[in-house]
Copies of this chain bind each other. A is one copy, B any other.
Amino acid sequence: MRDVIVLGVGMTKFGELWNRSLRDIYVEAALSAIENAGVDHIDSMYVGAMSSGLFVQQEHLGAVLADYLGVNPIPATRVESACASGGAAFRQAYLEVASGASDIVLASGVEKMTDGADVTEVLATAADQEYEAFHGITFPGLYALIANAHMHQFKTTREQLAQVAVKNHHNGAKNPNAQFRSEVTLEQVMNSTMVADPLRLLDCSPVSDGAAAVIVASTDVARKLKKQIIRVKASAQASDTIALHNRRELTTLNAVSKAAEQAYRMAGMKPSDVDFAEVHDCFTIAEIVVSEDLGFFQKGCGGKAVAEGKTAIEGGVIPINTSGGLKSKGHPVGATGIAQIIELYEQLTGRAGERQVKDASVGLAQNMGGSGASCVIHILEGL
């Protein structure tokens, strides 16, 4: 397999973009990535989108977006893995360049969630429709089950959950593309409206519109363009039972630990070699569980780690969600996995401004679908 390089990135601001269409925001992100990469063409493109059918009644999204981007007749394929659709699209682009079939590929993601659909109902199609959603449980409820189990088993506290939101809003306030550029206090999180006990409104990532795109290419292309080499050191993916009730335990996400294991093996690295990470904090509890399953902290210690500042940019051991994460940056589901790669790229090229992690040379992005039934992990290294 050939080495694969991230050559350039582009994204829209995330938020409630009521006056713009899916096509419109997609084209902005994709053109921005193409321009940033400095390429004069792309060989092929992948689009991650969870449910353009249910959100905006448009399937066949690869073809639609290739058309509006003006890149016909190149191959254009949509990839779906619920909220991990962006990460999965990046992985397919990676495989296409690694195989030698193409030299320059656009990996992208988009979701338009605020156009009138019942968002909670649409998102619930990422759960087990026959055994979960049918009975009325949606994602806040599923993650609340995980949170309760984690609090019971490891004495994780309500305050520790809230610390995740406080930290991510603190980081997101410095991200010009974030949906919520506002700090929140521990008290605000703890007193926000109850959604699904113990998860409150400020424990939940928002409903967002947005698009994100990156260009991946072979080393030859990167060298010709004299670009800094940001190499994809590992691409790993794993699956788990779709329904939460079929798992041996609620407090470990098996797809995350399996994909992490593969990713570290492929990169020849261990968790302590990672300088910073973007992880899938769709709910505050998710960041805690994932930070453990990635091996950054012992199982059960993720809550304590956040509260002690170990995941903060300033003074942290392993800064997590420097971009603001899904919580503050926003979570247009199909775009999220690509936006994580963008934050890695910005940090590794030293362009993260006020959010910059000092001496960042290895970053990890973890993107997952549903309650963790799919997980995609990438490790990038800046040389």
Interface residues of A (CB under 8 A from B): 1, 21, 23, 44, 50-51, 53-54, 56-64, 66-67, 71-82, 88, 91-92, 95-96, 98-101, 122, 125-130, 133, 237-243, 246, 254-255, 258-259, 369-370, 373-374
How many monomers of this chain does the complex have? 2
Contact of A77 among B67, B129, B237 (CB under 8 A): B237
Taking a contact as CB atoms under 8 Å apart, the answer to whether B54 and A54 are in contact is: yes
Report the bound CA distance from A292 to B41 in whole Å.
29
Taking a contact as CB atoms under 8 Å apart, the answer to whether B81 and A239 are in contact is: no
Report the bound CA distance from A81 to B243 in whole Å.
27
Also in contact, A73 and B238, with CB within 8 A (given A53-B51, A60-B81, A79-B79):
yes
Also in contact, A82 and B95, with CB within 8 A (given A241-B67, A242-B64):
no
Residue of B nearest to A134 (CB): B57
Residue pairs across A and B with Cβ atoms less than 8 A apart, 25 shown, are: A1-B100, A1-B101, A21-B130, A23-B130, A50-B59, A53-B54, A54-B59, A59-B80, A60-B82, A60-B242, A63-B82, A63-B242, A64-B242, A64-B373, A66-B239, A67-B246, A67-B373, A72-B255, A75-B238, A76-B239, A77-B237, A80-B80, A92-B92, A95-B96, A98-B99
Q: Which residues of B contact A258 (CB under 8 A)?
A: 73
Q: Which residues of B contact A73 (CB under 8 A)?
A: 238-240, 254-255, 258-259
Taking a contact as CB atoms under 8 Å apart, the answer to whether A79 and B77 are in contact is: yes
Contact of A242 among B50, B67, B99 (CB under 8 A): B67
Instruction: Please name 6 further chain A to chain B contacts, defined as beta carbons within 8 Å, in addition to the given A1-B100, A59-B82, sorted by A numbering.
Output: A56-B129, A60-B81, A67-B246, A72-B239, A73-B254, A77-B80
Q: Which residues of B contact A80 (CB under 8 A)?
A: 59-62, 77-80
Residue of B nearest to A50 (CB): B59
